[in-house]
């Protein structure tokens, strides 16, 4: 019986972050898709069955919280998706808002790969 592949969408405006996470998370049971803007991520969510999305909160500067907005789109297009938000400037208010919008987990950058792997294992 073939093993079902998990699709993970990684979204961050920094291509080094998306590429680094994709390389670190690569394994035979996973399909990794990376996007460096919210619009591309929305297209992927509309056309691909994504099990987990790992996304940054801020894309366009200190007041752009596009990562929070994409949470609502993801939940609409992929009910049951697990959403892990990450931020280099986390505050209790930001974390609370992330969960209020439907995020499954929140990681403060920088974080160890083992923290993310643990969240991914919980999801599967």
Q: What ranges do the domains of the chain cover?
A: 10-112
**Residue 65: per-residue pLDDT:** 85
81: CB partners within 8 A, 6+ apart? 45, 50, 51, 52, 53, 74, 75
CATH number of 10-112: 3.40.50.2300
* Coil vs helix vs strand at 87: strand
Count CB-CB contacts under 10 A for residue 110.
8
C-alpha 104 chain-centroid distance: 10
Mean pLDDT in residue range 71-84: 94
The yes-or-no verdict on residue 76 having pLDDT over 70 is yes
Q: What is the mean pLDDT of the chain?
A: 91
Mean pLDDT in residue range 48-68: 87
**Residue 58: per-residue pLDDT:** 87
Burial (0-12, 13-18, 19+ Cβ within 10 Å), 95:
middle
The yes-or-no verdict on residue 2 having pLDDT over 60 is no
In this structure, are residues 54 and 8 in contact, taking their beta carbons and an 8 Å threshold? yes
The yes-or-no verdict on residue 112 having pLDDT over 60 is yes
Distance (Å, whole) CA 123 – CA 121: 5
């Amino acid at each position: 019986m073939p093993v079902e592949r998990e699709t993970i969408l990684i979204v961050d405006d920094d291509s080094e972050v998306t590429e680094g996470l994709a390389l670190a998370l690569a394994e035979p049971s996973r399909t990794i898709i990376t996007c460096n803007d919210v619009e591309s991520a929305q297209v992927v969510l509309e056309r691909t069955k994504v099990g987990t999305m790992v996304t940054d909160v801020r894309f366009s500067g200190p007041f752009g919280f596009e990562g929070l907005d994409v949470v609502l789109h993801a939940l609409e297009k992929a009910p049951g998706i697990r959403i892990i938000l990450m931020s280099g400037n986390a505050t209790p208010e930001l974390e609370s808002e992330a969960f209020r919008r439907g995020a499954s987990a929140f990681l403060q950058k920088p974080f160890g790969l083992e923290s993310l792997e643990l969240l991914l294992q919980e999801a599967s």
